[in-house]
Amino acid sequence: MPRPTGRVLTLLELLQSGGTRTVAELAERLGVDGRTVRRYVNQLIDLDVPVESVRGRYGGYRLAPGYRLPPLMLSDDEALVVLLGLIAGRRTGLMTAGHTASETATAKIRRVLPRHVARRLDTLLDSLAFTDRPGEFAAPDAGILLTLADAVRHRRPVSMRYTGGDGRRSERTLHAYGIVAHSGRWYVTGKDALSDQDRTFRLDRISDARTLPGSFEPPEGTDPAQRVLSGFATAEYRHEVTLRIHGTVEQIRARLPAGVAILEEHEPVAGEEDRVTERWLRVRLRAERLDWLPPVLASLDRPFVIERPDALRDLVVTFADRLASHARRA
């Protein structure tokens, strides 16, 4: 049976997880009665832990907002989850520029892990493989990321210095709708005052950001992730491609996701089963090169019509002839 001190520490862990905990809930989790829960709470208060009593139907106990306990307590499984999150975030590029902070945090947690937990972690890491290369993309500055997040939450304009892909630098004012992590990079999307249009910017190309006085209202139904993906699909590239493909939305999206192509109705279908109904859909996309499209269209295994460009039609015919030639030699 756990000692009273152990139950007091468990109570503190429960309160640290956030929200208000009822006496009945705490009593059940600790395996004691309500009177004992109140005694444990008083012991925490005697240790200067700011436990608040919340009255009312849904009342109970909670920690005062902003309170942080210096010695963080994690269970074995929680420590593993935190370490895996740090490692995966660093490998996939979804870390801020402070790689040193990630490494030192990992080292601190590993130092205090029990040996059997450390062995479990090492076993997992030895058997774990990533499809991406670590450090493949530049990471954003942590201060800039937090400044933009504050601007998004409080709907405040933000001034920033930005370096475009062509190397040109500019000062911009942005009404930021949201921050999006996509394929190892961080993006911020919103209305750019310089062009008076919705734009998407890479965070690693922002050298400075600060919030400005005032506020704004984002458009209704704003979906930052969808805006970023749509921006990729409509970006300026060498070739504009238009196809008609017969299939379901899911079948087409499996090979041509939203960040690559835009789907439009060619044969309108009413009802809630649109996504699972096979019909002709018009597909629009932009590409710098066309040679990757014939294998993708072949993998769809759906009827399709190439509207433009003619060069893609020629590439598909050549690709089909090459496959037929290989099959005959086999």
Is the Cβ–Cβ distance between 181 and 139 less than 8 Å? no
Please, which residues bridge with residue 200 across strands?
A: 189
Task: Choose the final residue of a domain: 223, 250, 280.
Answer: 223
Q: Same domain for 57 and 98?
A: no
Q: In what order do the strands lie in the sheet with 239-247?
A: 261-265, 279-287, 239-247, 304-308
Cβ contacts of 253 within 8 Å, gap of 6 or more: 263
Q: Give the Cβ contact number of residue 42 at 10 Å.
A: 11
Residue 172 has φ and ψ, to the nearest 5°, of -130, 150
Q: Same domain for 146 and 215?
A: yes
Domain-embedded: residue 112: yes
**Gap between the Cα atoms of 131 and 138, Å rounded:** 18
Specify the CATH number for the domain of residue 15: 1.10.10.10
Q: Same domain for 192 and 105?
A: no
Q: How many domains does the chain have?
A: 4
pLDDT at 260 (0 to 100): 82
**153 to each of 54, 190, 282, how far by Cα in Å?**
28, 13, 37
Residue 140 has φ and ψ, to the nearest 5°, of -75, 160
Domain-embedded: residue 56: yes
Token pair, residue 161, equals 């210095």
Q: Same domain for 241 and 322?
A: yes
Is the Cβ–Cβ distance between 232 and 273 less than 8 Å? no
Task: Choose the final residue of a domain: 200, 223, 246.
Answer: 223
Q: Give the Cβ contact number of residue 285 at 10 Å.
A: 20
Domain-embedded: residue 70: no
Q: Show pLDDT as tens, one digit a residue, over the chain (330 residues).
A: 456 777 888 888 888 777 788 898 899 888 899 899 999 999 888 888 888 988 877 678 988 876 655 556 677 777 778 887 777 776 666 665 555 667 777 777 777 777 887 887 777 777 766 665 555 566 777 788 888 988 888 999 999 999 987 788 999 999 999 888 876 778 899 999 888 888 889 888 998 999 999 999 888 877 888 777 777 666 666 788 999 999 998 999 888 987 788 888 765 555 544 556 788 999 998 887 899 999 999 999 999 999 999 999 999 999 998 888 888 775
pLDDT at 267 (0 to 100): 59
**Gap between the Cα atoms of 292 and 256, Å rounded:** 12
**Gap between the Cα atoms of 267 and 244, Å rounded:** 10
> What range defines the domain where residue 311 resides?
234-329
Is the Cβ–Cβ distance between 137 and 185 less than 8 Å? yes
- Hey, is 207 helix, strand or coil? strand
**Nearest alpha-carbon partner for 316 in 328, 300, 327:** 300
pLDDT at 161 (0 to 100): 93
Domain-embedded: residue 249: yes
